C-alpha cells in the first residue's frame, strides 16, 4: 500500500471524527460543564462506534472495488453527491444542532451509545472514506484492508485528541457556543468541496480507462 493511500485513509478517519455533529457537540457540552476529562471519556466510549462504522465502510469499499472499477467509480459518484447534499443542508441550516448536545455525568456510556447507534454514522463514514480513497482504487483489496483499518484507527485517535484539546480551551468554547451556526455552515462548505473532489476523482478514473 502506498504512503499516499495510507495518509489519505488517516485523513479520512480524522475528518470523520472532527466533523461537527451530535457527538462533536456533546464533547463540547461535556467539556464546558464537567471539564476536559469528561469529554475524553465520552470520546473513549464513542471510539467503539467509530471503529465499527469505519470497518463496515472500508469493507464495503473493498467489496465494491473487487467487483470492478466501474462500480467503485459509481460509488464515488454516489458518495460525492451525498456529501454535497449534507453540505448544502448544513449551509442552509437555521440552527447549529445544539439540541443534540448531551450533558451526561456518565460520559463513557453516553459515548458508547452515541457511537454505536448513530444512524448517520455508516453513510457518512462511507462517503468520507470513498471521497478520499477513490483515486487509489487499484490499491484497495483484501490484502490491504488490515492496513487501511489501522490507518483509519490512527485517524480516529488523532481526531479525538484534537477535539479534546480544543474543547478544553475557554476561548474556543465561548466562540463555539456563540457562533455555532457559523461553524456548522463552514463545515457544510467543506463537505461540498469533498463531495466535488469525489466526483472529480471518479470521473478522472473513468476517463483514464476509456
Where is pLDDT greater, at 95 or 11? 11
Q: Give the domain extent around 180.
A: 3-209
Q: What is the mean pLDDT of residues 118-147?
A: 77
Q: What is the pLDDT of residues 49-107, one digit of tens each?
A: 888 888 888 888 888 777 666 776 787 788 778 778 877 877 787 765 444 444 445 77
Where is pLDDT greater, at 123 or 51? 51
Q: Give, to the nearest 10 degrees, the angle between helix 170-209 and helix 121-133.
A: 60
Cβ partners under 8 Å of residue 94, min gap 6: 181
pLDDT at residue 21, rounded to an integer: 67
Nine cell digits for residue 73: 467509480
pLDDT at residue 172, rounded to an integer: 74
* Number of domains composing the chain: 1
Q: For the whole model, what pTM was predicted?
A: 0.65
How many Å apart are CA 148 and CA 141, to the nearest integer?
Answer: 10
Q: What is the pLDDT of residues 160-209, one digit of tens each?
A: 999 888 888 888 777 766 776 776 677 678 778 877 877 888 788 778 76
Q: What is the DSSP track for 84-143? A: HHHHHHHHH-SS--GGG----S-HHHHHHHHHHH-TTHHHHHHHHHHHHHGGGGGG-STT
Where is pLDDT greater, at 24 or 45? 45
Q: What is the pLDDT of residues 16-33, one digit of tens each?
A: 888 766 677 677 767 776
Where is pLDDT greater, at 180 or 156? 156
Task: Please name which of 138, 134, 16 lies closest in space to residue 80, comparing C-alpha atoms.
Answer: 134
Q: What is the DSSP track for 24-70? A: HHHHHHHHHHH-HHHHHHHHHHHHHHHHHHHHHHHHHHHHHHHT-HH
Amino acid at each position: 500500500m502506498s504512503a499516499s493511500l495510507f495518509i489519505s485513509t488517516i485523513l479520512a478517519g480524522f475528518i470523520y471524527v472532527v466533523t461537527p455533529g451530535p457527538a462533536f457537540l456533546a464533547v463540547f457540552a461535556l467539556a464546558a460543564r464537567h471539564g476536559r476529562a469528561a469529554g475524553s471519556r465520552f470520546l473513549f466510549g464513542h471510539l467503539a462506534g467509530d471503529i465499527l462504522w469505519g470497518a463496515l465502510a472500508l469493507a464495503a469499499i473493498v467489496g465494491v472495488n473487487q467487483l470492478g472499477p466501474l462500480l467503485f467509480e459509481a460509488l464515488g459518484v454516489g458518495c460525492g453527491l451525498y456529501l454535497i447534499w449534507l453540505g448544502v443542508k448544513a449551509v442552509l441550516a437555521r440552527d447549529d444542532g445544539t439540541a443534540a448536545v448531551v450533558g451526561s455525568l456518565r460520559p463513557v456510556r453516553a459515548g458508547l451509545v452515541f457511537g454505536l447507534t448513530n444512524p448517520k454514522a455508516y453513510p457518512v463514514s462511507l462517503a468520507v472514506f470513498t471521497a478520499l480513497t477513490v483515486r487509489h482504487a487499484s490499491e484497495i483489496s483484501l490484502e490491504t484492508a488490515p492496513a487501511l483499518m489501522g490507518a483509519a484507527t490512527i485517524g480516529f485517535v488523532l481526531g479525538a485528541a484534537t477535539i479534546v484539546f480544543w474543547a478544553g480551551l475557554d476561548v474556543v468554547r465561548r466562540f463555539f457556543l456563540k457562533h455555532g451556526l457559523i461553524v456548522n455552515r463552514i463545515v457544510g462548505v467543506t463537505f461540498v468541496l469533498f463531495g466535488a473532489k469525489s466526483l472529480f476523482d471518479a470521473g478522472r478514473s473513468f476517463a483514464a480507462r476509456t
